[in-house]
């Protein structure tokens, strides 16, 4: 599967930011069951590389496993060697973009201001993550895309099941959700049916937002 094709087709990146990753395989299976394939394990957890390696080995044919909260090229390399198929950063780091391009791995680069967004795009970002999206909301995304229509934006930080469609309608190439999709309590109780239902609802909202409104 082509990495960017999966992310842009589904329109969603599932962000797994948890203190306990012992149920990594189960939660990925639940999300995939609901139709979401791009799943990011953040390096805010020291076990992220292990989870990437394990889930990639078990579900590589069904899921696209990536690494998030990557702050530097050294961490990006660790993630890629563990099997990460894409890398996500919270901020703009040109050396990390260069490293990912060297390995041929797509990178979703965090930025916020128009200058940062364009700098990331021109440096080779596959997608630009608008973070935190809660600050400006969908209207900010629409305003940025006015003069920069060529940039593919992925809002995160404040995106919910309820407003994901608004961001897509504003022009987002995809949305990224963390605890509003994958929360610690649901995972701790292994309530996989709930995760699957959330995934289905989110995918339906994105699909609906992409469907042209009849005149």
DSSP codes joined into one string, 56-116:
HHHHTTT-EEEEES--SHHHHHHHHHHT-S-EE-SS--HHHHHHHHHHT--EEEEE-SHHH
- Residue 139's pLDDT is 97
pLDDT tens sequence for the chain (215 residues): 588 899 999 999 999 999 999 999 999 999 999 999 999 999 999 999 999 999 999 998 999 999 999 999 999 999 999 999 999 999 999 999 999 999 999 999 999 999 999 999 999 999 999 999 999 999 999 999 999 999 999 999 999 999 999 999 999 999 999 999 999 999 999 999 999 999 999 999 999 999 987 66
Q: Which of 29, 54, 129, 152 is catalytic?
A: 129
- Residue 213's pLDDT is 74
- Residue 60's pLDDT is 85
- Residue 113's pLDDT is 97
* pTM as predicted: 0.95
Active-site residue flag, 40: yes
Q: Which of 29, 40, 54, 152 is catalytic?
A: 40
Cα 139 from Cα 123, distance rounded (Å): 25
Nearest Cα neighbor of 39 from 71, 19, 9, 13 is: 13
Inter-residue contact 195 to 31 (CB < 8 Å): yes
Q: In the chain, what are the domains?
A: 3-210 (3.20.20.70)
- Residue 215's pLDDT is 64
Residues 6+ away with beta carbon under 8 Å from 129:
88, 89, 90, 108, 109, 110, 111, 153, 154, 155, 156, 176
- Residue 212's pLDDT is 82
């Amino acid at each position: 599967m082509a990495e960017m094709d999966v992310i842009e087709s589904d329109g969603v990146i599932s962000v797994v930011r948890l203190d306990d990753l012992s149920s990594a395989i189960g939660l990925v299976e639940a999300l995939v069951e609901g139709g979401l394939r791009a799943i990011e394990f953040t390096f805010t957890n020291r076990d992220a590389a292990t989870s990437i390696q394990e889930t990639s080995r078990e579900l590589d044919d069904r899921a696209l496993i990536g690494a998030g909260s990557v702050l530097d090229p050294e961490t990006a390399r660790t993630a890629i060697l563990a099997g990460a198929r894409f890398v996500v950063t919270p901020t703009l780091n040109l050396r990390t973009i260069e490293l990912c391009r060297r390995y041929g791995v797509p990178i979703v680069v965090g930025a916020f201001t128009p200058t940062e967004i364009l700098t990331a795009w021109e440096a080779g970002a596959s997608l630009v993550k608008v973070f935190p999206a809660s600050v400006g909301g969908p209207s900010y995304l629409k305003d940025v895309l006015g003069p920069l229509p060529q940039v593919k934006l992925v809002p995160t930080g404040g995106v919910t099941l309820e407003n994901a469609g608004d961001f897509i309608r504003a022009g987002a190439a995809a949305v990224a959700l963390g605890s509003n999709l994958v929360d610690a309590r649901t995972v701790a109780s292994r309530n996989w049916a709930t995760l699957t239902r959330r995934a289905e609802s989110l995918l339906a909202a994105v699909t609906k937002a992409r469907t042209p409104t009849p005149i």
